[in-house]
Amino acid sequence: MLTSIKNYIIDKKWGIAAIIIGTSLGFASAVICVYANLVIFGFNIMFIISPLIAGFSEAYIARKKYGKSTGAISALLIFIIINIYGWFFPKNPITLNLFTLGGIALTVQAAVPILVNYLLFVVFLGTITYVIGLIGNLMSKLLGKEIEMAEKPKNVDLPQLDLLFATTTDLSGKNITQHLGIITGEAILKEEKDENSSRLEKIASKNGSNMEYKIGLVRNEALQNLESEAKKMGANGILGVNIDYKSVGGIKGSTIIATATGSAVLYE
């Protein structure tokens, strides 16, 4: 039993030494503050200085010699000692006022910083944020001004086209008299916004950044370009219409390319 205790002390010697030295320095600073009567607004500065000196000294020695933190035990011990003395033993014990309350708060912060920071930044601020949000929701409901979600842009309808479009390779009930060849119609939509943006981009920007809406715009322009190509060849119908989409990313923004293909025909 004694051997195990001896081994424990040897193993933890620098940790124990850090606590003892930190407590001693903190206590010495408190004695100096008392005998020198270092008082500000009726409040002895030992309540602020002594725990800080104890905690700093312990942490410094523990880090240099022990290799890890010892938990600022000396700061907590000094905090307890000087508060017992300050509140009960002097001829004129300290009384509660604005300055003593502030000093106590600083002393607690110096003695147990992790706990205080958690209570302040997590518990306190979290509670305040929750209460403010709750009050805001209640006020919105009382005033009948609950926040509404922005309306999602509607899908883009297919354009009005003059020629007959078909996704199949024949026209039921129609007599195809001539195949005029494969045609292509393309449309490009760039995500970047500048004064040189195309008409298609400007329309899309007015309706938000909804990707489904933008793709509908690109599709319609591709179909209209496909129809223009067919009219140039004298066709009155397009068979096997297919639309393919590609997205190309770049430094200046992404680009959506829609390609409509088909076979231009004449039918009776």
Asked if residue 149 is part of any domain, the answer here is no
End position of a domain, from candidates 71, 89, 111? 111
The domain tally of the chain equals: 2
Could you count the other beta carbons within 10 Å of the beta carbon of residue 189? 21
State the Cα–Cα distance between residues 148 and 166, nearest whole angstrom: 42
Domain shared by 91 and 181, yes or no? no
Domain shared by 98 and 6, yes or no? yes
Q: What is the pLDDT of residue 262?
A: 92
Q: What is the pLDDT of residue 114?
A: 61
Q: What is the pLDDT of residue 129?
A: 82
Asked if residue 134 is part of any domain, the answer here is no
Asked if residue 124 is part of any domain, the answer here is no
**Segments forming the whole domain that contains residue 63:** 2-111
Q: What is the pLDDT of residue 146?
A: 45
Domain shared by 106 and 178, yes or no? no
Domain shared by 107 and 189, yes or no? no
Q: What is the pLDDT of residue 218?
A: 86
Domain shared by 105 and 200, yes or no? no
Q: What is the pLDDT of residue 253?
A: 56
Asked if residue 147 is part of any domain, the answer here is no
Asked if residue 154 is part of any domain, the answer here is no
The CATH number for 197's domain is 3.30.110.70
Domain shared by 100 and 182, yes or no? no
Domain shared by 80 and 178, yes or no? no
Report the phi/psi class of residue 44: left, alpha or beta, with left for phi > 0 and alpha for psi in -120 to 50: beta
Paired residues of 185 in beta bridges: 260
End position of a domain, from candidates 111, 133, 152? 111
Asked if residue 42 is part of any domain, the answer here is yes
Domain shared by 107 and 9, yes or no? yes
Asked if residue 122 is part of any domain, the answer here is no
CB 76 within 8 A of CB 115: no
Contacts of 60 (CB under 8 A, 6+ apart): none
Asked if residue 118 is part of any domain, the answer here is no
Q: What is the pLDDT of residue 147?
A: 43
Which residue's structure tokens are 């322009």? 221
Q: What is the mean pLDDT of the chain?
A: 77
Spans of the chain, pLDDT less than 70: 1, 41-43, 90-118, 121, 140, 143-155, 191-210, 249-254
State the Cα–Cα distance between residues 42 and 153, nearest whole angstrom: 68
pTM: 0.39
CA 248 and chain centroid, separation: 28
